[in-house]
Structure 1
Amino acid sequence: MSENWRRKCSLVVVDEEGNGLDLSALKFTFSITWQDTKYPKKAEFKIFNLSSDVANKLTRGEFAQIQLLAGYQDNASLIFSGEIIFSIDGRDNATDTFVTIQASENDKAFCYATVNTTLAAGYSKTDVFQALLKAVRNFGITAGLIPELGDIKMPRGKPIYGMHRDEMDRLASQTHSTWQFVNNTIQMRPENTHSTDIIVLNNQTGLIGMPQQTIDGGVNLQCLINPNIVINSLIRLDNSSAYKTTSSTGNINADSAKEANQQAKAASSTLSKDGDYRVINISYRGDTRGNEWYMDLVCIAKGQSDAIALNKVASHDY
């Protein structure tokens, strides 16, 4: 195997005082899900044969955070940094013990952050965002990718009261965006946007097997862990390599067969003509002592509406 394709990972747990404990040398598995919704990344780690002291500290809740860096020798970076929600120990067999950890990115901010303020007449959507950002600063949240929200002034004042996530829903709806906490930042992404960087996936760059076309013209695929691929990344495939969605016409009448063929033809025609797809769902699976080191991607065709690229969405110093 080429040196560039040697797996690389680092797993660290951090206590409330910021002291880290490196668990990278141990056998562990992980499963992480990330969707293009407001809900944070979720992760589950299973760490084997910890010392009884460390296992007890984990199950007693003495560690608050867990961080995973993963990828390959020439391309590895942080793919998860979240709050530990739950830990439990167990035994696989007579010799192997484990601790399972469930974690979520910025779980406390998402579940518990509230806002209670009033904006004076003449406020703008930017002022609304600043107020919402202020409400989560105590959770360690800073501004990430934020669109230009405009400076239109509202003639009346505005009270903002309630759960932070509900107020973010309202602002995102008004600006035709989605929002999410990502790695201790709050991000808003304009709908139907994508990264301008194109990641080419083929059997030389980490693609596993053949992509599977979905009925709505998207593709599902598996590749080696690549930290450069994130939600709303743009990937490029050779469409001829994708399994096409088909409908069986055996043992059905002529009308049903015709309808099935029309549906299959319509689905095929919606494949991205240039092979470019936007990532909307990522599942990571890894085993430091096994073969799994994969990402499962759900993608949709880039389409005609994806004109605004994420490099045009400014990161402001709010």
Structure 2
Amino acid sequence: MTKHLIILNPNAASGTAAKRIDQIKDLLRDRDVLFDMELTNGPLQAVSIAKDGCAAGYSSIIAAGGDGTVNEVLNGIMLSGAVGNDLPAFGIISIGRGNDFAHVAGVPQDIAMACDVLERGTPVPMDIGRIMVDSSARSDDSSSQTTIRSGAAANELQFPTHFPNGRYFINGVGIGFDAMVNIEATKITWAQGFLSYFIGAMKTMFFYYDPVSLDIEYNGKRETKQMIQISVMNGRRMGGAFYMTPDAVADDGLFDLCIGHAPKRREMLGIILRFMNGTQGVSPHVMFDRTQHLSVKSADGKLVVQADGEIMCTEGRQVEIECLHRAIQVIRADTE
């Protein structure tokens, strides 16, 4: 018998997700869906709840929140120790700000329709990614943290030991400009969704535009040049409306890459607007590619990196990113 564990983040979408709790419960009960619900009350708690849910034998684990909640629940499932067919299915109820992976996974934004998917949807295999940040990561036995140092002058970044072998992601990784946009967007509490990310993009363009020299290696080739961003995508969209890789397929075993070189600042606004309909490839400063594995290095420790909207580092030296082909079953609408 199918029973779902709903992990709901009441703080998603600046706290408005809490208003959806009773609605979601009522919709699922109306559909005779068996479920338990647990609420998170702090960062990374969804990871622990999801791991425990796997051990308890739930047939599916559902992330109710935004992309950050989706990421935490994904990591909890993948870190549970279960493998293959023993992994529970992964579902999404979108009540966050960006909800980007739900878009490519075919999960409706409408809450009632998302509950219909949980009732009648089909688990399908999808790719995920795993990211390692900096080869200098070390465990600090005096605390429950893994400290990543990015050079003598850089800030120390504290990553919980939930992720000793890297962090999983399902939508995408942003290096450089779009990671800075994410940081700026999260500071905006009075706007949601696309608007907060658009304002974040404008702030980043005017105040933090800083192409850096990056060494990028993939598909047996390597180049070093000034770049403003590298998007490594399993999905297609970030920030609620920016189509980083409009042709990405989430089960083909490959990441889609969108690499931005170093346009002049006056050219940036036009390029940003083109991301909204996925036509940025017409710019000579933007290129697309595909790969299963990617390495990016910054000799001066200036990597700003986010995965599924979660900041991985702000002064990193190296990231390694790999695609794990069809590693998880995602519940999506039955198209038959």
The TM-score range, normalised by the shorter chain, is under 0.3
Decide which structure has greater helix share: 2
More strand by share: 1
- Report the TM-score when normalising by structure 1: 0.24
Q: Which has the larger radius of gyration?
A: 1
TM-score relative to the length of structure 2: 0.23
